[in-house]
Amino acid sequence: MKKLILVRHAKSDWPEETEDFDRPLADKGLKDAMNMSRFMKSNDISIDYFVSSPAVRALNTCKIFNQAYQLTISTEDKLYNPSERNFESVIYDLDDSVSSVAFFSHNNGISNFANSISEDIFHFPTCGVAGFEIDCNSWSEFDGAKKKLLFFYEPGKI
73-132 pLDDT per residue, tens:
999 999 999 998 999 999 999 999 999 999 999 999 999 999 999 988 778 999 999 999
Contact between residue 111 and residue 9 where contact means Cβ atoms under 8 Å apart:
no
Q: Which stretch of DSSP H or E encloses residue 32?
A: helix 27-42
For the chain, the helix, strand and coil percentages under 3-state DSSP, each to the nearest 5:
40, 20, 40
38-60 pLDDT per residue, tens:
999 999 999 999 999 999 999 99
Domain ranges of the chain: 2-153
Does 57 appear as a known binding residue? yes
Q: Does residue 137 sit in helix, strand or coil? A: coil
134-155 pLDDT per residue, tens:
999 999 999 999 999 999 999 9
2-153: CATH homologous superfamily? Phosphoglycerate mutase-like (3.40.50.1240)
